[in-house]
Structure 1
Amino acid sequence: MKYQATLAKQNHEIDVVDKGDGVYEVTLDGQVHVLDALELSHGAVSLIVDHASYSVEFEDTADGSVNVLVRDQVFSVDVLDERRLRMRAAGGRFAVEGPQMITAPMPGKVVKYLVAVGEEVAEGQGLVVVEAMKMENELKSPKSGVVKEVFAKEGASVESGAKLVVVE
């Protein structure tokens, strides 16, 4: 899965390949790194990146970025997948129309659905929580509408791109 991350006003290209068992091949600005991730009981994540160990904590912010605590330093990181990057570049000049399929951004497990079929949702409202890379990710609605379909069951493993929810 390809991403763009902004850290300290600098953009970085990121490509993530799940190798299984918590191991990921991460290409950051053209440099390949091997990352081993393990979620700790208190919510932090233990990362081994190219044989160096880090304890990392994540906190979602109201503006959609993530505060990352590494070695007593907090970094604000804005991570966008390819679709969200295109939407941001458009500067809100258009509204999302028609049925919208929410898919798994990477392989993981469906932890919990926050909505049910027939429920009205607002743009930006959480729809489903997916655990990937030992972290829980809340996937949000790209538009206001009604939940028309829910695909995978809670607890199910899903592949990258798997259908999760349709909002119409």
Structure 2
Amino acid sequence: MRYFTKQQGQKEAVPVDLEPLGNDQFKITVGATTYQVDALALEHGTLSMLVDGQSYNVEFEENGDELGVLLRGQVNRIDVADERRLRLRAANAAFSVEGKQLVTAPMPGKVVKVLVKVGDEVKEGQGLVVVEAMKMENELKSPKAGKVTELFAKEGTAVENNAKLVMVE
């Protein structure tokens, strides 16, 4: 199966081909490089992996098309999409977001900074709230230009996955 992945800061998506070989073994081709992988699923979304003879413990957390990957103490956010999803995204790219938009926590964490207050005018893509999750700070951005009409986030508080943070109208 072919996927396309893009890490934060990357401009172009990288093709990733995943071929199951049986007995928890896979052939994974990332761009032009191919790896032999032996993967064993452990508890709580963790995989024990042998990649070309090197051992890794990898933790995953899914949030829609985004995948949080904890490897060697570092979290990477990777956007993952198959060819069908890429076509759907391209078709929807011409549409803009309208009406009230609720910004929610992408995963459980702690609100470390609130960047706006009720009544603030914001631009599309402007930072609204910073949430720390999996030892990484994530700046959540406005999905549209508009006005902050409600603010649920409070600095220093813990939030659950999909907790209401900010309403932009």
Change (3 A) 1:126 1:107: same
Matches within 5 A, 1:31-42: 33=47
SS in structure 2 at match of 1:49 = strand
SS in structure 1 at match of 2:89 = helix
Measure, in 2, the Cα distance between the counterparts of 1:107 and 1:133: 9
- Higher CA-based Rg: 2
Pairs aligned (count): 115
Q: Which residue of 2 aligns with 1:107?
A: 108
Amino acid at match of 2:116: V
Change (3 A) 1:110 1:57: closer
Is this contact kept in 1: 2:75–2:135, CA < 8 A? Answer: no
Matches within 5 A, 1:50-65: 54-56=72-74
Identity of paired residues, percent? Answer: 59
Give TM-score, length-normalised by structure 2. 0.56
State the 1:86 CA deviation: 9.5
Q: What are the Cα deviations for residues 63-109 of structure 1, in whole angstroms up to 9, with x where unaligned?
A: xxx6xxxxxxxxxx4358xxx98983434221100000000011110
Measure, in 1, the Cα distance between the counterparts of 2:87 and 2:116: 26
Is this contact kept in 2: 1:150–1:166, CA < 8 A? Answer: yes
Give TM-score, length-normalised by structure 1. 0.56
State the 1:48 CA deviation: 4.7
Matches within 5 A, 1:45-124: 48-49=57-58, 54-56=72-74, 77-78=78-79, 88-124=89-125
Gaps (5+ residues) in structure 1? 13-23, 27-31, 35-46, 59-65, 67-76
Q: Which residue of 2 aligns with 1:162?
A: 163
Is this contact kept in 1: 2:47–2:57, CA < 8 A? Answer: no
Q: Which residue of 1 aligns with 2:26?
A: none
Measure, in 2, the Cα distance between the counterparts of 1:11 and 1:106: 28
